[in-house]
Amino acid sequence: MQFIKNLFKLEERSTNIKTELLAGLTTSLAMDYILPVNSSMLGTAVVLVGGVLFHIAISAALASISS
């Protein structure tokens, strides 16, 4: 556990492992909802659903990594 705390500098950032795991779970659940709903909405606009799903997922991943 100490390795993880040091690796991610949790104490310097005033957080803990439980908070970070909960934040990750929340983000994952939100994306589980957003990906199919956005794809479905854009799919009704005569856009390929598979392509929309892929691009939304890549955009979300890049936004998560860059922030």
The predicted-structure confidence for 15-39, as pLDDT tens digits, reads as follows 999 999 999 899 889 888 988 888 7
Domain extent for 22: 2-66
The reported pTM is 0.68
The total number of structural domains that make up the chain: 1
- For residue 45, CA distances in Å to 1, 10, 23, 33, 54 come to 48, 44, 33, 19, 16
**Phi, psi at residue 56, to the nearest 5°?**
-65, -45
Helix axes 17-43, 49-66, angle to 10 degrees: 150
Summary mean pLDDT of the chain: 86
